[in-house]
Chains A and B, each alone.
Chain A
Amino acid sequence: MRKRLRKANIWPYLLVLPALIIVMAVVFVPILNAISMSLQNYDLRRPKQIAFTGLQNYRQLFSDKQFTGSLYRTVLWVVFGVGFQFIFGFALALLLNRQFRFRGLVRSASLIPWVTPGVLIALMWRWILDGNYGVVNDLLIKLGWIDKNIAFLANRTTALPSVILTIVWQGIPFFALMLLAGLQGISPELYEAAGIDGAHSTQKFRFITVPSLKNTIFVTTMLRVIWVANSVDVIFNMTEGGPAYATQTLSVYTYLKANTLNMGYASAMAIVLTILLLIFSIPYLHSMFRDQGV
Chain B
Amino acid sequence: MKKLLGILVAVVMLLTMIPFALAQDVTIDYWFWADNDGYAATMQEMIADFNATNGKGITVVGSQVPWDGGGYSNTVFTAAMGGGGPDVATWKLTATPAFVANDLLAPLDGYLENWADYEQIEESLWEVMRQVGGGEKVYVMPWNTQVLYVYYRPSMFEAAGIGVPETYEEFLDACAKLTKDGVYGFGMRGATGGQEPWGSFIHARGGTFEDLTTPQAVQGMNDFIDLFKNGFTPPTAPSDGFSQIIDNFKSGLTAMTVHHIGSSAGMVETFGEDVGAFVFPAGEGQWTSMGDTENVMFASCENKEAAFEWLAYLAAGKGQETWCKVTGNVPVAARVKEMEEFQNNPFMKVSIAGAPYAGILPILDTTTEWISGVWPATVQQALLGDITAEECMEILQTELHK
- Establish whether residues B372 and A259, one from each chain, have CB atoms under 8 Å apart when the complex forms: yes
- Docked Cα-Cα span, A93 to B240, in Å, equals 38
Choice from A45, A48, A245 contacting B377 with Cβ under 8 Å = A245
- Establish whether residues B377 and A154, one from each chain, have CB atoms under 8 Å apart when the complex forms: no
- Establish whether residues B71 and A242, one from each chain, have CB atoms under 8 Å apart when the complex forms: no
Choice from B238, B240, B248 contacting A244 with Cβ under 8 Å = B238
- Docked Cα-Cα span, A259 to B192, in Å, equals 14
Choice from A46, A133, A155 contacting B101 with Cβ under 8 Å = A46
Which residues B177-191 have CB closer than 8 A to chain A?
190-191
- Establish whether residues A239 and B239, one from each chain, have CB atoms under 8 Å apart when the complex forms: yes
- Docked Cα-Cα span, A153 to B384, in Å, equals 12
- Establish whether residues A132 and B386, one from each chain, have CB atoms under 8 Å apart when the complex forms: no
- Establish whether residues B235 and A151, one from each chain, have CB atoms under 8 Å apart when the complex forms: yes
Tell me whether A259 and B384 are in contact in the complex, defined as CB-CB below 8 angstroms, given that A46-B101, A153-B236 are known contacts: no
Task: Tell me which residues across on chain A come within 8 A of B368, comparing CB atoms.
Answer: 45, 260-261
- Establish whether residues A132 and B376, one from each chain, have CB atoms under 8 Å apart when the complex forms: no
- Establish whether residues B253 and A151, one from each chain, have CB atoms under 8 Å apart when the complex forms: no
Q: Please, what's the 1-or-0 string for B372-401, where 1 marks a CB less than 8 Å from any CB in chain A? A: 110011001101101000000000000000
- Establish whether residues A45 and B101, one from each chain, have CB atoms under 8 Å apart when the complex forms: yes
- Docked Cα-Cα span, A155 to B228, in Å, equals 13
Residue of A at shortest CB range from B371? A260
Nearest-CB distance from B241 to chain A (Å)?
8
Q: Is B98 an interface residue (CB 8 A)?
A: yes
Q: Please, what's the 1-or-0 string for A33-48, where 1 marks a CB less than 8 Å from any CB in chain B? A: 0000000000011111
Nearest-CB distance from A125 to chain B (Å)?
13
- Establish whether residues B102 and A131, one from each chain, have CB atoms under 8 Å apart when the complex forms: no
Q: Is B237 an interface residue (CB 8 A)?
A: yes
Task: Tell me which residues across on chain A come within 8 A of B369, comparing CB atoms.
Answer: 260, 262
Residue of A at shortest CB range from B192? A240
Task: Tell me which residues across on chain A come within 8 A of B377, comparing CB atoms.
Answer: 241-242, 244-245, 248
Choice from A45, A151, A256, A260 contacting B236 with Cβ under 8 Å = A151
- Establish whether residues A240 and B71, one from each chain, have CB atoms under 8 Å apart when the complex forms: no
- Docked Cα-Cα span, A91 to B238, in Å, equals 37
- Docked Cα-Cα span, A209 to B238, in Å, equals 47
Task: Tell me which residues across on chain B come within 8 A of A44, comparing CB atoms.
Answer: 77, 81, 98, 101-102
Q: Is A161 an interface residue (CB 8 A)?
A: no
- Docked Cα-Cα span, A239 to B244, in Å, equals 12
Q: Please, what's the 1-or-0 string for B115-150, where 1 marks a CB less than 8 Å from any CB in chain A? A: 000000000000000000000000000000000000
- Establish whether residues A153 and B101, one from each chain, have CB atoms under 8 Å apart when the complex forms: no
Choice from B71, B101, B366, B380 contacting A259 with Cβ under 8 Å = B71
Q: Is A156 an interface residue (CB 8 A)?
A: yes
Q: Please, what's the 1-or-0 string for A134-164, where 1 marks a CB less than 8 Å from any CB in chain B? A: 0000000000000001010111100100000
Q: Is B251 an interface residue (CB 8 A)?
A: yes
Tell me the interface secondary structure of chain B in the complex.
helix
Which residues B223-244 have CB closer than 8 A to chain A?
234-240
- Establish whether residues A149 and B365, one from each chain, have CB atoms under 8 Å apart when the complex forms: no
Nearest-CB distance from A260 to chain B (Å)?
4
Q: Is B97 an interface residue (CB 8 A)?
A: yes
Q: Is B155 an interface residue (CB 8 A)?
A: no
- Establish whether residues A154 and B240, one from each chain, have CB atoms under 8 Å apart when the complex forms: yes
Nearest-CB distance from B365 to chain A (Å)?
4
- Establish whether residues A243 and B102, one from each chain, have CB atoms under 8 Å apart when the complex forms: no
Q: Please, what's the 1-or-0 string for B195-224, where 1 marks a CB less than 8 Å from any CB in chain A? A: 000000000000000000000000000000
Task: Tell me which residues across on chain A come within 8 A of B239, comparing CB atoms.
Answer: 151, 153-154, 159, 239, 242-243
Interface centre among B366, B376, B377 (most CB of A within 10 A): B377
Tell me whether A47 and B237 are in contact in the complex, defined as CB-CB below 8 angstroms, given that A244-B384, A244-B386 are known contacts: no
- Docked Cα-Cα span, A256 to B101, in Å, equals 20
Task: Tell me which residues across on chain A come within 8 A of B251, comparing CB atoms.
Answer: 132-133
Tell me whether A47 and B101 are in contact in the complex, defined as CB-CB below 8 angstroms, given that A240-B191, A242-B239, A256-B372 are known contacts: yes
Task: Tell me which residues across on chain B come within 8 A of A242, comparing CB atoms.
Answer: 191, 238-239, 376-377, 380
- Docked Cα-Cα span, A114 to B173, in Å, equals 50
Tell me whether A132 and B102 are in contact in the complex, defined as CB-CB below 8 angstroms, given that A245-B377, A256-B372, A260-B369 are known contacts: no
Task: Tell me which residues across on chain B come within 8 A of A260, comparing CB atoms.
Answer: 368-369, 372-373
- Establish whether residues A243 and B238, one from each chain, have CB atoms under 8 Å apart when the complex forms: yes
- Establish whether residues B235 and A48, one from each chain, have CB atoms under 8 Å apart when the complex forms: no
Q: Is B270 an interface residue (CB 8 A)?
A: no
Residue of A at shortest CB range from B101? A47
Tell me whether A243 and B365 are in contact in the complex, defined as CB-CB below 8 angstroms, given that A47-B102, A132-B253 are known contacts: no
- Docked Cα-Cα span, A241 to B377, in Å, equals 8
Task: Tell me which residues across on chain A come within 8 A of B234, comparing CB atoms.
Answer: 131-132, 151
Nearest-CB distance from A131 to chain B (Å)?
4
Q: Please, what's the 1-or-0 string for A253-267, where 1 marks a CB less than 8 Å from any CB in chain B? A: 000100111100000
Q: List 6 A-B contacts (CB under 8 A).
A: A44-B101, A47-B102, A131-B235, A132-B234, A156-B386, A261-B74
Q: Which 8 pairs, one residue from A and one from B, show the smallest C-beta to C-beta distance? A: A260-B369, A131-B236, A154-B239, A244-B380, A243-B380, A244-B381, A151-B235, A45-B365
By a beta-carbon cutoff of 8 Å, the part of chain B in contact with chain A is 71, 74, 77, 81, 97-98, 101-102, 190-192, 234-240, 248, 251, 253, 365-366, 368-369, 372-373, 376-377, 380-381, 383-384, 386
By a beta-carbon cutoff of 8 Å, the part of chain A in contact with chain B is 44-48, 130-133, 149, 151, 153-156, 159, 239-245, 248, 256, 259-262
Q: With A44-B101, A153-B236, A154-B239 given, name 5 new contacts (CB 8 A).
A: A45-B366, A47-B102, A133-B251, A244-B386, A260-B373
